[in-house]
Amino acid sequence: MQNSLPSTPKNTPQGITWRQTVVMRNAQGQEEAFSIGPDGSVWSFIADSGDSRFDATGQRLENLGLAADFLTVGRNVAGALVVIAAKGLHTQYRTETPLEGLTLADGLRKRWSPAQSIHLPTIAGATGVRRLYTQTDFSGMRIAMIVDTEQPGIGASYVMACSQWGEAGPGPFILLPPLGAPGAGQPAKTASAPGQATFRVAHSA
């Protein structure tokens, strides 16, 4: 394997190990699992890479170097995987670089783009990203984040920040107000129509 398994920190609650596992099919057609490890970093695991240079069974385990409380994996318009991780208000991503199978043994440096930050717009009282979502269709990939807020006189709330993903990463963000009961004199919100696109945490493999 490329990396040894991370040990569980002493202050980790009992029973908390690998979290928010997402399984996707990568550019080589292999099922690849992404998960937040007990060390709080995002890890990638391929059960059978088809190359015994990784280890005797061809397994591949790599630390992507992204600190995370929350994780999602999407697919951009070019078909490459995009791993997105949020730690507090700090959000980063890495994009898959399609390579031939034999080139994969060169390691993580060539397999993934360098980690890049996602710059959120100014959000009053923002305290941290609570959840990440992606959606991919004919127009490409979109990302949404639930951002918790805390403001004097208002208290705890949240907003959703949405962006269309482009070749250079996320585009401008649009902020949406919290969902919930309408204010006085406002009509109730209607449910999404059948077939209407909604965000989800990740696509199936």
3-state secondary structure 37-78: CCCCEEEEEECCCCCCCCCCCCCEEEEEEEECCEEEEEECCC
What is the number of other CB atoms lying within 10 angstroms of the CB of residue 52?
11
Q: What is the pLDDT of residues 106-147, one digit of tens each?
A: 554 578 899 999 999 999 999 999 999 999 888 889 999 999
pLDDT at residue number 47: 81
pLDDT at residue number 14: 53
pTM value is: 0.75
Q: What is the pLDDT of residues 35-54, one digit of tens each?
A: 999 999 999 998 865 555 55
Q: What is the pLDDT of residues 44-84, one digit of tens each?
A: 998 865 555 554 456 788 899 999 999 999 999 888 999 99
